């Protein structure tokens, strides 16, 4: 019974997630006639779509995570330079941008008439860079996921203790040895989880792939799901495709699970990279500056272009529109609700995962539970949304539960971010202080308050801020549930775009981004300090 | 002192949107439509105001992403739907909407309807219409294609951005358009045209936005798009290429639900949509042409020369039977 007592919260969350995932797919499937998996898999078009989806997702993941490793190491080695904090904060922006805004930002830099081609034409090369195609897809996915990966990886570097650096220093280790003996062990246990999130995000990417992919040859399974749900109204086909997508993602997750390693226990104290022995050489410095510089230009130029066109727009006209403020209020409510729900789910799950590791040494079981929590990204929001919609419809709660429904779907969608940022330090704190806690008789809330909270509050603030900002910028789900004509800010943005109000929309986009930043900042002020 | 002000406004926003109006003593007519119809720039707010003063009722618009989302919502809800009226399906969705058997005959006199074709459908009532067209940037294009055939086959024709027929209405419109012009040869035309396509976007907004950012000199849109730029921005820069071999027509329709609790109200609203009061505001709010001849001429921004002479369309049944197959063929030709 004692085993169960530590497990109930995790079991509850896992059961909830399985019901949400399975239920939404089943409910969607039940609404129309059945289709068979085998006949779907015999369709050459679909096979092509599946191959393309996997291929671009693998490539995008390798590139995003590979580049992130290089840039994060450079950022970790240079722990003090002017603008570092601002740079890292701005890196949160691509993650929370509505897709269409990001597309406009990326094409403003890399498009046919973008900055890059304007620069090239100065050298006599007219429109020589073409973004549309695989290039565009990889570029956009890197734009979204490189900063996310950096943010998730940086704490791994910061968890290497001062003693270790000093020891390495005394032993006269080279930069390469440092990486192999100190840095790799500390980052490699997080890497599979991070790769999984990035892979899932790229796998389920939709509008970016279609628009920057240059044509229907670039079609992901998500596009086929949208088509089935929306234009063909073949719900069972949509459910089947969602199931297929989930299965493929599960295979990928299980493959990565094999590489999950035991967390290396390190002291969680704040360290300073100035203890590193390899940061003083000039070449090292030059390389770091180069890496950080290129990354900053790549990420900040599209953001700058978005702000530039926003500033030139009719700012007063947009800001003085009362609907903008109503929509912001509604978005804020959704973000707060989603964050609270998601936080409850994440903590419930993580608590049990740590219990599993401490009491039963079930590493794989623990990782499996975390993986289930991450898989929610692999379910198309449209399918979860449709499932929830059908539940609300049948229980006659549609008119009253709209906000909760939107928040719930968002909470489930952002859960992986919370799990992946909070679980490593939380589990580490457990491993390190387990004996001490037992010795002192600390348990339950007291242990959480005194031991865990100080260690996880920073990553929690980051994850909650990110999750909230993501829900704030959500579009697909909110539009699906509209029952009373009230709009959220992203929906309003799409309304403007649909009504030729492109200049107004660019102002709204900047406004939306600023509110996301403000939300992120506020959370970090409240929790992270 | 700026921050507290903003904060207050934000808090007010939160409170106002949280407090949903629960007072519904007078009867409420619920109309499902697409979001650009009901957004603050569309005709929705004006129509609501005008209708509510005359009917002593509440008019509630539910704005869904587009016509397809509207139909799919209706199918999801089935008999449980709270809609009294659906507004904004187009001719390519009519047959599938009819098949739901959720609709009732409109029972409205269609004598005043002024379309290129005579309207005889007893369930769907047209309220406005338009034509798909290729809009171009006059600062970047001198030599214009004169026909769709010319645009798609001539190696010198300009580059274009189009929409995906699997996810957007204009995208599907172009498939039908090309099908009308080329018949069974449409596939080889698409194969030639593919090299001119800069990209194929999910929806109209992405395509038009990229076009305005000069990603291509030409975009698939509506023949009325230049009227918007003329009327609102006073600009002649963006124009539409008028084709001698015709333009595909899009007719937008309204229908009422069979198990509506307010059948009279619903039918009155259908009539109201065809009245002068509504028809005269549609051109400059919905950027479509009125389906009924109004007492006054079209606003100045709408030019006679931008109204197609040759009009192309398929019957709803033809679209419904062939749509999937034609899209599949299109994929085979373009996705290489």
Instruction: Tell me the pLDDT tens digit for each residue of B46-99.
Output: 999 999 998 889 999 988 888 888 998 898 888 888 899 999 999 889 999 999
Instruction: Give the pLDDT band of residue B3 (cuts 50, 70, 90).
Output: very low
**Contact (CB<8Å) B20/A31:** no
Does residue B113 surpass a pLDDT of 70?
A: yes
In this predicted structure, what is the pLDDT of residue A3? 54
Residue A216 has its nearest CB partner, among B18, B35, B331, at: B331
Residue A390 has its nearest CB partner, among B9, B76, B328, at: B76
Mutate to test the interface with B, among A216, A385, A478, A479 (most CBs of B within 10 A): A216
Q: CA-to-CA distance for B146 and A414, rounded, in angstroms?
A: 51
Instruction: Give the pLDDT band of residue B284 (cuts 50, 70, 90).
Output: very high
Work out the average pLDDT over A426-442. 83
DSSP notation for B171-235 = HHHHHHHHHHHHGGGHHHHHHHHGGGEEEEESSHHHHHHHHHTTS-SEEEEETTHHHHHHHHH--
Q: Which residues in chain B have Cβ-Cβ distances shorter than 8 Å to A500?
A: 41, 208, 225, 228, 232, 287
More confident residue, B231 or A168: B231
**Contact (CB<8Å) A482/B10:** no
**Contact (CB<8Å) A213/B232:** no
Q: Are A215 and B194 in contact (CB under 8 A)?
A: yes
Length of chain B: 336
Residue A483 has its nearest CB partner, among B36, B62, B330, at: B62
Residue B335 has its nearest CB partner, among A216, A321, A496, at: A216
Does residue B126 surpass a pLDDT of 90?
A: yes
- Residue B109, min C-alpha distance to chain A (Å): 31
**Residue B149: how many other CB atoms lie within 10 Å:** 16
Does residue A2 surpass a pLDDT of 70?
A: no
**Three-state SS annotation for A430-469:** HHHHHHHHHHHCCCHHHHHHHHHHHHHHHHHHHHHHHHHH
> How many CB pairs (< 8 A) connect A and B?
179
Instruction: Give the pLDDT band of residue A483 (cuts 50, 70, 90).
Output: low
**Contact (CB<8Å) B215/A498:** no
Mutate to test the interface with A, among B215, B329, B332, B334 (most CBs of A within 10 A): B215
pLDDT per residue as tens digits for the range A256-307: 776 655 444 444 455 566 677 777 788 888 999 999 999 999 999 999 999 9
In this predicted structure, what is the pLDDT of residue B216? 95
Residue B72 has its nearest CB partner, among A48, A229, A326, at: A229
Does residue B6 surpass a pLDDT of 50?
A: no
**Residue recorded with tokens 């693998």:** A58
**Contact (CB<8Å) B166/A491:** no
Residue A211 has its nearest CB partner, among B11, B194, B201, at: B201
Does residue B19 surpass a pLDDT of 70?
A: no
pLDDT per residue as tens digits for the range B286-304: 999 999 987 788 899 999 9
Least confident of A154-163, B1-10, B124-133, B264-273: B1-10
Instruction: Give the pLDDT band of residue A14 (cuts 50, 70, 90).
Output: confident
**Contact (CB<8Å) B39/A206:** no
Using CB atoms within 10 A of its CB, is residue B48 exposed (0-12), middle (13-18) or buried (19+)?
middle
In this predicted structure, what is the pLDDT of residue A270? 55
pLDDT per residue as tens digits for the range A228-245: 888 888 888 888 888 888
- Name the closest residue on chain B to residue A504, using Cα atoms: B41
**Three-state SS annotation for A178-224:** HHHHHHHHHHHCCHHHHHHHHHHHHHCCCHHHHHHCCCCCCCCHHHH
- Name the closest residue on chain B to residue A217, using Cα atoms: B335
- Name the closest residue on chain A to residue B80, using Cα atoms: A393
In this predicted structure, what is the pLDDT of residue B22? 41
In this predicted structure, what is the pLDDT of residue A268? 47
Does residue B17 surpass a pLDDT of 50?
A: no
Q: Is A268 left (phi over 0), alpha (psi -120 to 50) or beta?
A: alpha
Q: Are A212 and A137 in contact (CB under 8 A)?
A: yes
- Name the closest residue on chain A to residue B77, using Cα atoms: A393
**Contact (CB<8Å) A215/B334:** yes
pLDDT per residue as tens digits for the range A121-157: 888 877 778 899 999 999 999 999 999 999 888 888 8
The tokens describing B109, both together, are 């006199």
Task: Quote the mean pLDDT of chain B.
Answer: 89
Does residue A453 surpass a pLDDT of 60?
A: yes
Torsion of CA A146, A152, A153, A158, to 10 degrees: 140
Task: Quote the mean pLDDT of chain A.
Answer: 84
Global pTM value:
0.88
- Name the closest residue on chain B to residue A117, using Cα atoms: B215
Name the percent of chain A lying above pLDDT 70: 92
Residue B69 has its nearest CB partner, among A230, A329, A483, at: A230
Instruction: Give the pLDDT band of residue B179 (cuts 50, 70, 90).
Output: very high
Work out the average pLDDT over A455-483. 79
Least confident of A498-502, B20-24, B102-106: B20-24
Q: Please list, residue by residue across A116-144, b when 16 or more beta carbons sit within 10 angstroms of its beta carbon and e when fewer do.
A: bbeeeeeeeeeeeeebbbbebbbbbbbbb
In this predicted structure, what is the pLDDT of residue A152? 85
Q: What is the ipTM of this complex?
A: 0.86
Q: Which residues in chain B have Cβ-Cβ distances shorter than 8 Å to A323?
A: 40
Work out the average pLDDT over A84-108. 85
**Contact (CB<8Å) B12/A219:** no
Does residue B309 surpass a pLDDT of 70?
A: yes
- Name the closest residue on chain A to residue B325, using Cα atoms: A232
Least confident of A62-66, A391-395, A466-470, B255-259: A391-395
In this predicted structure, what is the pLDDT of residue A34? 62
- Name the closest residue on chain A to residue B334, using Cα atoms: A216
The neighbouring-strand residues paired with B29 are B59
In this predicted structure, what is the pLDDT of residue A160? 81
**Contact (CB<8Å) A329/B38:** no
Does residue A358 surpass a pLDDT of 80?
A: no
pLDDT per residue as tens digits for the range A375-414: 887 888 778 888 888 888 888 777 777 788 888 888 988 8
**Contact (CB<8Å) B210/A226:** no
Work out the average pLDDT over A475-482. 68
Mutate to test the interface with A, among B81, B209, B216, B233 (most CBs of A within 10 A): B209
**Contact (CB<8Å) A215/B202:** no
Please give the backbone phi and psi of residue B219, each rounded to the nearest 5 degrees, phi first. -145, 150
**Contact (CB<8Å) B199/A211:** yes
- Residue B264, min C-alpha distance to chain A (Å): 22
**Contact (CB<8Å) B210/A111:** yes
Instruction: Give the pLDDT band of residue A469 (cuts 50, 70, 90).
Output: confident
Least confident of A57-61, A314-318, A343-347, A481-485: A481-485
Q: CA-to-CA distance for A417 and A175, rounded, in angstroms?
A: 31
Residue A351: helix, strand or coil by DSSP? Answer: helix
Q: Are B95 and B316 in contact (CB under 8 A)?
A: yes
DSSP notation for B261-323 = S-HHHHHHHHHHHTSHHHHTTHHHHT-SEESB--SSPPPTTS-GGGS-SSEE---HHHHHHHH
The tokens describing B259, both together, are 């198990």
**Contact (CB<8Å) A233/B65:** no
pLDDT per residue as tens digits for the range A23-56: 888 888 776 666 667 777 778 888 989 999 999 9
pLDDT per residue as tens digits for the range A183-215: 888 888 788 888 988 998 899 888 888 889 888
In this predicted structure, what is the pLDDT of residue A338? 92
Residue B38 has its nearest CB partner, among A223, A485, A494, at: A485
Instruction: Give the pLDDT band of residue A487 (cuts 50, 70, 90).
Output: confident
- Of A241, A400, A470, A492, which is closest to residue B20 (Cα–Cα)? A400
pLDDT per residue as tens digits for the range B243-273: 999 999 999 999 999 999 999 999 999 999 9
More confident residue, A458 or B274: B274
């Amino acid at each position: 019974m004692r085993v169960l007592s530590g497990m109930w919260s995790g079991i509850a969350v896992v059961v909830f997630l399985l019901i949400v995932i399975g239920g939404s797919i089943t409910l969607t499937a039940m609404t129309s006639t059945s289709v068979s998996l085998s006949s779907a898999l015999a369709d050459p078009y679909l096979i092509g779509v599946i191959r393309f989806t996997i291929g671009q997702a693998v490539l995008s993941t390798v590139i995003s995570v590979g580049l992130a490793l290089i840039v994060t190491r450079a950022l970790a080695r240079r722990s003090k330079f002017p603008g570092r904090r601002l740079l890292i904060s701005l890196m949160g922006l691509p993650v929370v941008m509505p897709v269409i805004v990001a597309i406009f930002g990326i094409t403003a830099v890399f498009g046919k008439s973008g900055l890059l081609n304007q620069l090239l034409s100065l050298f006599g090369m007219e429109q020589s860079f073409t973004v549309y195609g695989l290039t565009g897809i990889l570029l956009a996915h890197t734009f979204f996921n490189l900063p996310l990966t950096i943010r998730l990886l940086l704490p791994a570097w910061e968890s290497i203790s001062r003693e270790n650096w000093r020891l390495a220093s005394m032993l006269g280790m080279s930069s390469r040895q440092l990486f192999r003996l100190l840095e790799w062990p500390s980052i490699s246990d997080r890497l599979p989880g991070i790769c999984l999130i990035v892979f899932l995000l790229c796998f389920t990417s939709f509008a970016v792939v279609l628009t920057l992919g240059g044509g229907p040859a670039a079609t992901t399974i998500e596009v086929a799901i949208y088509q089935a749900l929306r234009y063909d109204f073949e719900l069972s086909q949509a459910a089947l495709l969602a199931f297929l997508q989930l299965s493929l993602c599960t295979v990928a997750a299980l493959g990565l699970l094999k590489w999950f390693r035991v967390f290396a226990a390190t002291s969680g104290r704040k360290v300073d990279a100035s203890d590193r022995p390899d940061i003083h050489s000039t070449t090292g410095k030059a390389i770091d500056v180069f890496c950080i510089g290129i990354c900053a230009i790549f990420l900040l130029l599209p953001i700058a272009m978005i702000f530039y066109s926003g500033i030139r727009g009719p700012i007063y006209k947009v800001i003085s529109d009362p609907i903008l403020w109503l929509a912001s209020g509604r978005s804020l409510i959704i973000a707060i609700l989603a964050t609270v729900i998601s936080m409850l789910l994440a903590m419930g799950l993580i608590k049990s995962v740590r219990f599993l590791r401490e009491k039963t040494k079930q590493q794989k079981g623990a990782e499996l539970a975390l993986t289930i929590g991450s898989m929610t990204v692999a379910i198309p929001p449209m399918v979860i949304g449709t499932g929830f919609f059908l539940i609300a419809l049948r229980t006659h709660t549609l008119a009253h539960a709209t906000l909760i429904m939107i928040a719930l779907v968002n909470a489930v969608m952002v859960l992986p971010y919370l799990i992946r940022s909070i679980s490593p330090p939380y589990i580490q704190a457990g491993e390190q202080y387990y004996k001490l806690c037992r010795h002192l008789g600390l348990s339950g809330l007291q242990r959480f308050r005194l031991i865990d909270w100080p260690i996880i509050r920073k990553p929690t603030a980051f994850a909650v801020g990110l999750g909230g900002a993501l829900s704030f910028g959500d579009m697909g789900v909110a539009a699906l549930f509209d029952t009373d004509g009230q709009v959220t800010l992203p929906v309003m943005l799409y309304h403007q775009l649909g009504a030729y109000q492109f200049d107004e929309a660019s102002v709204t986009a900047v406004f939306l981004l600023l509110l996301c930043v403000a939300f992120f900042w506020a959370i970090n002020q409240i929790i992270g300090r | 002192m700026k921050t507290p002000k903003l904060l207050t406004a934000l808090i007010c926003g939160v409170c106002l949107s949280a407090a949903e109006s629960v007072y519904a003593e007078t009867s409420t007519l619920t109309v499902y439509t697409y979001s650009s119809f009901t957004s603050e720039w569309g005709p929705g707010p004006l129509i609501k105001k005008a209708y509510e003063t005359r009917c002593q009722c509440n008019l509630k618009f539910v704005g869904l992403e587009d016509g397809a989302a509207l139909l799919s919502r209706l199918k999801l809800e089935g008999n449980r739907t709270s809609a009294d009226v659906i507004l904004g399906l187009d001719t390519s969705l009519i047959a599938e909407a009819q098949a739901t058997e959720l609709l009732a005959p409109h029972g409205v006199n269609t004598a005043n309807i002024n379309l290129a074709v005579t309207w005889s459908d007893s369930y769907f009532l047209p309220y406005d219409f338009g034509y798909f067209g290729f809009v171009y940037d006059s600062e970047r294009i001198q030599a214009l294609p004169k026909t769709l055939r010319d645009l798609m086959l001539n190696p010198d024709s300009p580059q274009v951005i189009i929409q995906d027929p699997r996810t957007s209405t204009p995208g599907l419109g172009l498939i039908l358009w090309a099908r009308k012009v080329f018949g069974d040869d449409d596939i080889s035309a698409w194969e030639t045209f593919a090299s001119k396509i800069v990209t194929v976007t999910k929806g109209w907004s992405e395509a038009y936005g990229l076009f305005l950012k000069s990603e291509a000199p030409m975009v698939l849109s509506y023949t009325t798009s230049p009227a918007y730029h003329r009327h609102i921005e006073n600009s002649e820069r963006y124009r539409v290429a008028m084709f001698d071999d015709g333009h595909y027509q899009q007719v937008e329709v309204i229908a009422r639900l069979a198990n509506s609790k307010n059948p009279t109200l619903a039918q009155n609203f259908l009539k109201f949509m065809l009245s002068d009061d509504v028809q005269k505001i549609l051109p400059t709010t919905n950027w479509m042409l009125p389906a009924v001849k109004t007492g006054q001429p079209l606003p100045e921004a709408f030019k006679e020369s931008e109204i197609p002479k040759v009009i192309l369309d398929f019957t709803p049944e033809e679209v419904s039977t062939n749509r999937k197959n034609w899209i599949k063929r299109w994929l085979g030709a373009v996705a290489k």
